[in-house]
């Protein structure tokens, strides 16, 4: 049996200690920004329009509307609202919203029981928008993921009944926009509010509301 020189033992020991120290250092080092898939950086901005995929559909299905909505009031008051018969004096409406495939159905009624429905057939396109609204807060030092202001928007032709049954002289388009905040990974819980914007030759009005 051959004996191993003491100097060789020392070299092996030094190598083992070095590996242990390096491993410990790596495990205690914060995860770099590039290793965090969902992290968002100061100054981030995203704007993209593309087809709606399976994941997008699941997020949209998860949008749960609260049971009320407000007709957006501008400085022009009722005169600026075109396409709604007998707008509620309080601008407040109770709401029921339902999604079936590409069809979004919104039923509104006010305190005086004036009611109507809006049927939106959404195109298979989604606009995604996200931006860091305070990029100046970026500081040197440790990495911190920031909250981005986010929008998802779908749009398509709309038809109306009841208080929305007006003489339309041309195509009328609805834009349904979901608003929220979050990082680079998106789910329905990141969205808190919605806007339904109706525009066309015979219509110009907007509803706003909350998500549950």
Tens digits of per-residue pLDDT, 51-104? Answer: 999 999 999 999 999 999 999 987 666 777 999 999 998 999 999 999 999 999
pLDDT tens digits for range 90-149: 999 999 999 999 999 999 999 998 999 999 999 999 999 999 998 876 665 667 789 999
The radius of gyration of the chain from alpha carbons, rounded to an integer in Å, stands at 28
Per DSSP bridges, beta strands 148-162 and 115-121 are antiparallel
Residue 140 has a pLDDT of: 59
The Cα 95–Cα 167 span in angstroms is: 23
Angle at 94 between CA 88 and CA 100, to 5 degrees: 125
Tokens linked to 5 = 């020189």
């Amino acid at each position: 049996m051959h004996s191993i020189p003491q100097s060789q033992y020392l070299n092996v020991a030094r190598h083992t200690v070095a590996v242990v120290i390096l491993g410990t250092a790596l495990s205690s080092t914060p995860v770099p920004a590039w290793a965090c898939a969902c992290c968002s950086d100061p100054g981030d901005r995203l704007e993209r329009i593309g087809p709606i995929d399976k994941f997008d559909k699941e997020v949209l299905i998860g949008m749960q509307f609260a049971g009320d909505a407000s007709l957006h009031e501008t400085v022009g008051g009722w005169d600026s609202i075109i396409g709604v018969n007998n707008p509620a004096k309080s601008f407040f409406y109770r709401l029921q919203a339902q999604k079936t495939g590409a069809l979004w159905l919104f039923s509104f009624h006010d305190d005086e029981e004036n009611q109507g429905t809006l049927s939106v057939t959404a195109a298979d396109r989604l606009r995604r928008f996200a931006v860091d609204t305070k990029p100046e807060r970026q500081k040197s030092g440790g990495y911190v993921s920031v909250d981005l202001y986010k929008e998802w928007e779908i749009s398509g032709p709309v038809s109306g009944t009841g208080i929305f049954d007006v003489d339309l002289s041309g195509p009328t388009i609805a834009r349904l926009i979901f608003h929220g905040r979050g990082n680079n990974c998106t789910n329905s819980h990141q969205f808190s509010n919605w806007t339904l914007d109706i525009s066309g030759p015979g219509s110009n009005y907007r509803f706003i509301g909350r998500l549950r």
